[in-house]
Amino acid sequence: MAALKVGSVTSAVQSLWLIPVLPLLAAGLLAFAKQRHRVFAGTLAIVALVASFIVACGAFAATLGAHGERAVFNFTWLQFGETPLRLGWVLDPLTAVMVVMVTLVGTLIFIFSVGYMAEDENFTRFFCFLSLFAAAMLGLVIANNLLLLFVCWELVGLASYLLIGFWYHKPSAAAAAKKAFIVTRIGDIGFFIGILWLYAETGTLLLYDNGNGCLEGSALAQLVARTTIGGMVVSTAIALLIFCGAMGKSGQVPLHVWLPDAMEGPTPVSALIHAATMVAAGVFLVARVYPLMDADPANVAGHSPALCVVTWIGAITAIFAALIAVAQNDIKRILAYSTVSQLGYMMLGLGTGGVAVGIFHLITHAFFKALLFLGAGSVIHGCHHEQDIRRMGGLRRFMPLTFATYAVGMMALAGFPLFFSGFWSKDEILHSAFAWAPSRWPFYLGAAGAVLTTFYMTRQMFYVFFGHNRADEPAGHVHVHESPAIMVVPLVILAAGAVLLSIVGTPAWPWFHAYLTGHAAAVQPVAVDVILIMLLSTALVALGLGLGWWLYGRRRIERADSPDPLEALQADTFTVLRQKFWIDEAYDKTVVRLNRALCRAADWLDVFVWGGLVALVSYLAVGIAWVNRLIDEYVVNLGFDKGCGSVRWTARLLSLWQNGQVQRYLRALGVALAIFVLIFIWGCRG
Partner 1 sequence: MSYLDVLILACPETIVALAALVVLALDLAVFRRRPWATRMRFGALAVTIGCLAALSWLWGTIPVRPLLHSDDVLVLNSLTHLIKIVVLLLTILTAWISIESQFTDHVGEYFALLLFGTLGMMFLVSTENLLMIFVALELLSLCLYTMTAFNKQNVRSAEAALKYFLFGGMSAAFLLFGFSLVYGLTGEITLGRIGRALNPSTLQPFNPSTLPDPLLIVALIMVMAGFGFKVAAVPFHLWAPDAYQGAPTPTAAFIASGSKVASFFILAKLLVAGFAGAGGAAAWRGFTQGWMPLVAILAALSIAVGNVAAIAQSSVRRLLAYSAIAHAGYALVGVLAFGSPTPSASTLQPFNPSTHHGFTALIYYVVTYACTALGAFGVVAIVEGSGSTVQRFNDSTVGPPDDLRAFAGLGKRAPLLSFCMLIFILSLAGIPPLAGFFGKFYLFAAALSSGKDLALLWLVVFAIAMTAVSLYYYLQVLKQIYVAPPPRLDDSTTQRFNDSTTQQPFNPSTLQPITPSWPAQASVVILAAAVVILGLAPNLLVGRVLGMVDASRLFLR
- Report the nearest approach of partner 1 to the CB of residue 80 (Å): 6
- Report the nearest approach of partner 1 to the CB of residue 662 (Å): 5
Select 75 or 626, whichever has its Cβ closest to partner 1: 75
- Report the nearest approach of partner 1 to the CB of residue 87 (Å): 10
- Report the nearest approach of partner 1 to the CB of residue 181 (Å): 23
Select 526 or 673, whichever has its Cβ closest to partner 1: 673
Residues in contact with partner 1 by the rule CB under 8 A: 76-82, 647-648, 650-652, 654-655, 657-658, 660, 662, 665-666, 668-669, 672-673, 676-677, 679-681, 683-686
- Determine which helix (DSSP H) or strand (DSSP E) holds 99, and give its type and residue range: helix 93-116
- Report the nearest approach of partner 1 to the CB of residue 669 (Å): 6
Q: What is the C-alpha to C-alpha distance for residues 247 and 331, in angstroms, rounded to an integer?
A: 24
The phi and psi torsions of 643 (rounded to 5 degrees) equal -75, -10
**Cβ-based neighbours of 343, under 8 Å, separated by 6 or more:** 250, 251, 252, 279, 280, 282, 283, 314, 317
Closest CA to 188 of 229, 142, 156: 156
Select 601 or 677, whichever has its Cβ closest to partner 1: 677
- Report the nearest approach of partner 1 to the CB of residue 671 (Å): 8
Q: What is the C-alpha to C-alpha distance for residues 511 and 31, in angstroms, rounded to an integer?
A: 42
- Report the nearest approach of partner 1 to the CB of residue 194 (Å): 24
β partners of residue 73: 89
Closest CA to 644 of 653, 636, 635: 653
Select 591 or 651, whichever has its Cβ closest to partner 1: 651
Select 640 or 657, whichever has its Cβ closest to partner 1: 657
SS3 state at 147: helix
- Report the nearest approach of partner 1 to the CB of residue 474 (Å): 55
- Report the nearest approach of partner 1 to the CB of residue 205 (Å): 16
Strands 71-80 and 83-91: antiparallel
Q: What is the C-alpha to C-alpha distance for residues 177 and 163, in angstroms, rounded to an integer?
A: 8
User: Are the C-beta atoms of residues 491 and 401 closer than 8 Å to each other?
Assistant: yes
User: Are the C-beta atoms of residues 140 and 149 closer than 8 Å to each other?
Assistant: yes
Closest CA to 565 of 662, 422, 458: 458
Select 550 or 680, whichever has its Cβ closest to partner 1: 680
Residue type, 203: G
Select 229 or 656, whichever has its Cβ closest to partner 1: 656
- Report the nearest approach of partner 1 to the CB of residue 639 (Å): 19
Residue type, 119: E
**Cβ-based neighbours of 620, under 8 Å, separated by 6 or more:** none
Select 523 or 681, whichever has its Cβ closest to partner 1: 681
Select 78 or 508, whichever has its Cβ closest to partner 1: 78
Q: What is the C-alpha to C-alpha distance for residues 397 and 389, in angstroms, rounded to an integer?
A: 16
Select 14 or 650, whichever has its Cβ closest to partner 1: 650
Closest CA to 165 of 261, 264, 94: 264
The phi and psi torsions of 411 (rounded to 5 degrees) equal -60, -40
CA 285, chain centre distance (Å): 10
User: Are the C-beta atoms of residues 96 and 15 closer than 8 Å to each other?
Assistant: no
**Cβ-based neighbours of 5, under 8 Å, separated by 6 or more:** 62, 65, 66, 69
